Every structure is written in structure tokens, then in C-alpha cells.
Structure 1
């Protein structure tokens, strides 16, 4: 039997003895939006990244590059981007300066995707008691992204621009591995595309090279169980709604 917390030497013959725990780690993952000020040991973060690196990637290209922010490095990035976010709200004309480098969302929204997006947004705001006309509170809640929702650990993920779109698919599997492995250790996460528009601030701050593109950020820590936003859950379509069986 393999020792705990070590990678099996023979994956082909490895038996997953507790499949329910694997399912629980996946199914209990959600985007936590409030964290406790409880430190996460570096060795724990390193373990999560080591496990996540077993994600598949086309021809084993392993396109991920990770920057872990804690302490002063985290706090100073928060200050910079929150200031830019406030300035953008005050002068929408600045939007031209803060553009995402790749299209995370479609230019034109259609059903059913726009319906799910709206249900997600208004469901979260409803849990927080934010009304549709309360622009100030909407802005403040959106800015919570740029505070990593108070998580003590922020991560930024970049990719070499020379790589193709398939590498972003590989990257998604790497990110999911981090989030599932985190759940196995009592941690929660929030993957964050919100940072992408502020890449011109983020990339120099983390010391990324000129050939790197920001993929997303992620908050990591211990979720605040008392926060109402952490009890909001998005719906999932039933298997029969998205599956076609062919024989």
C-alpha cells in the first residue's frame, strides 16, 4: 500500500481505496469568496502544486507558470489593483488601458449561457443583500476579487504567448487539480479571471517575462464558514441535458 501523500510509483496498478472521498473533494469545490486570516504553510502549497503538476498536457508541454503571493508581495499588489479598479469606476474611459489579452467570455452572449451567468451573478448578490441598483456595493463586492477575498495566499498563473489555444485546455486541468487537492486538505479556492484586465499591473509586479500572458489568478486559504456568500451554490445541469449517447 502506498504511503500517504506520496505519488504512487506504479499508477497503472494503484487502487483508489476511497472513491467517495475523491468524489467529495470534487463536489465540495466551489468558488469561496470569504476567507479566514489563517496562514497556509509553504509546504502545503508546494504539495498542492506538485500533485497538480500531474495534469495532462499535449505532448507533455506542461505550459503552467505559477507565482505565489503572500505577505507584503500580496498586499502591495492588492493596493495597486484596487486603486486602478477605483480609478476605472470613476472614469470608464480608462477601460481602453485595461483589456484582457485573450477572450475569456464571448463578445455576444446568447441563451442558455447568458441565463446561467445572470443566475450566478444575481444569486450571489442576493445572498449578500445587494440590490440591482446598488452600484456602490456592486463595485465593492467586485473589488473583493482584487483583495483575494481576504485569502492569505494569492496565486497568479501565466503562459508563454507562443503556445497555442490547446495549452489553455491543459492549463484548466492543472488548475482543477490544485482546487481538488486543496479540498482534500481542508482548503478552499476561488479561480479568478477578474485579474486579467489588470495584467499590465500584475505581470510587472510578479516579475513575469515579456513573453508571458496572464491566464488567471486564484485565492487559496481556509473558507470563512460564517460568510453568507460561502453558502451560495450555483446549479448544475443534469447529465442527460449535456450528454449524447451513441451506440
Structure 2
């Protein structure tokens, strides 16, 4: 049995999956258990849409056309990052991007190859299951945090069950398309997607692991 510590330390964004289906009952089990995530007042302010099978293929075909017609994307429901991101955070982003492209064998200044790699997001990196998360527009920052706890639970329980995930804000670039495809009501904010499947352990890109800051950088002990 995988321990919580093992799941946390081994969790990472997987960007190459095997062409191997995930049993529907296993998906339901993972989401059911993940819904034990805490939420203030037990609001449980999350919605999850699971895309598999024929719908999965239809979505990939649709995205292929959408990307070709509108590579810049659509109006987003939220900003990925603050516009005035301080240097220490910008540096982390750049280091992660550089490390990821290096693992993929892509030169950092090769814009075409980077774009081809980016487009893999909208193919779930080959994963057979796509999970999509949304939340009511009237919900506040607290409830967004609780949605994140649900997603974290899913990613950790996936590991316990021999699966892997990649949380994908990239799907929000095509929020209008996803609203239509998932038939989301207007009062819902489409947040992101998550690829779910079996990791391709031979893929070099999956060997890339992001760094974490030392405790002293972000923790204060107050005696």
C-alpha cells in the first residue's frame, strides 16, 4: 500500500501516458474518495466532468480544429498569473520551463517545437481520461482553495491506484469551447483540466522533477 508520504513525494505532472484504458469503476472510486476533501461549511463547491471513450475522441478532434483556427485561444475566465509577478516567482517559472524543454530535447529558443509541445496539453498528453473542474461564479477565494484540495486528493489517490495525473490550466485558454462541449451553465467558471492515466515510464519527459525551496525560504517558526 502506498503511504501518504510516498504519494506526495512521487506526485508530479506526467506528460506522456500509455494507450491503456482506465476502468470506469476505478475512476468513480477515486473521485468518490477524493470528495472527502475539506470545505468550509461542507459546501463541497466543486463540479467534475469526466471525459472518456467516444467523447474523448470527439473533444480531441474538436480541439485540433480550434487550435488551427484560433491558436491564440479564447477569452479566459481568470488570469493564470498576476501581471506584476515578482522576480523570485518569475525565475521559478523560467527555470521550470527550461528544465522541461531540456527533458523533451527542445531548445529553449525553438518556438515552433515549444508550440508543438504545448499543443500536447489539448491531447491530454496521450491519457485516456480527461477530468474537468468548474465552480460557481459566486464562490469566493476560500471555495477555490477547497476545489484545489479535491484535485490534490485525486492526484494522490491516482498514485495509490497505480495511475498518474497532470493538472492542466492550459484548457482554460479555450474556456468558451469547454463551456459548450461540457454544456456548463453560464453561472459556472471553467477552471482547468486534468489528464488521468497510466504513466509511460520510458518517456524522458516524465523524468523531469521540479525543485522545491528549502524550508527556511517559506516557513517561520514562532516560539
Q: Report the TM-score, using the length of structure 2 for normalisation.
A: 0.96
1:77–1:202 contact (8 Å) kept in structure 2: no
For the residue of structure 2 that corresponds to 1:34, the secondary structure is coil
C-alpha contact 1:38 1:221 (8 A) present in aligned 2: yes
Q: What is the CA–CA distance in structure 2 between the aligned matches of 1:170 and 1:178, rounded to whole Å?
A: 13
- Give the aligned partner of residue 144 of structure 1: 120
What is the root-mean-square deviation of aligned Cα atoms in Å?
A: 1.4
| Residues in 2 aligned to 1:113 and 1:99: alpha-carbon distance in whole angstroms | 25
The answer as to 2:171 corresponding to 1:192 is: no
C-alpha deviation, 1:245, in angstroms: 0.7
Count of residue correspondences: 223
Residue 66 (structure 1) aligns with? 48
Per-residue CA shift, 1:118-167, capped at 9, x if unaligned? 01111010111111232221111000000000100001111111211211
Q: What displacement does 1:100 show? A: 1.5
Aligned to 2:178: 202
**SS of aligned partner of 1:155:** strand
Which sections of structure 2, spanning at least 5 residues, go unmatched?
none
1:76 aligns with 2:52: no
Structure 1, unpaired ranges of 5+? 1-17
Counterpart among 107, 110, 115 of residue 134 in structure 1: 110
Query: Shift of residue 82 of structure 1?
Result: 2.8
Structure 2 equivalent of residue 29 of structure 1: 11
1:181 is displaced (CA, Å) by 0.5
Give the whole-Å Cα distance in 2 for the aligned partners of 1:86 and 1:119.
Answer: 29
Secondary structure (helix, strand or coil) at the match of 1:176 reads helix
- Per-residue Cα deviation, 1:65-89 (whole angstroms, up to 9, x for no partner): 0100011211211222232223334
User: Which whole-Å CA distance do the structure 1 matches of 2:180 and 2:70 have between them?
Assistant: 20
Which residue of structure 2 aligns with residue 7 of structure 1? none
After superposition, what is the alpha-carbon deviation per residue over 1:71-116, rounded to whole angstroms, capped at 9, x for unaligned? 1211211222232223334xx5xx5xx1221122111222210011
Q: Which moved more, 1:174-183 or 1:199-208?
A: 199-208
Instruction: Quote the offset at 1:241 in angstroms.
Output: 1.4
Equivalent pair of 2:102/2:108 in contact (CA under 8 Å): no
| 1:99 and 2:109 matched | no
2:26 to 18, 35, 44: 44
Q: Distance in 2 between the 1:192 and 1:112 partners?
A: 23
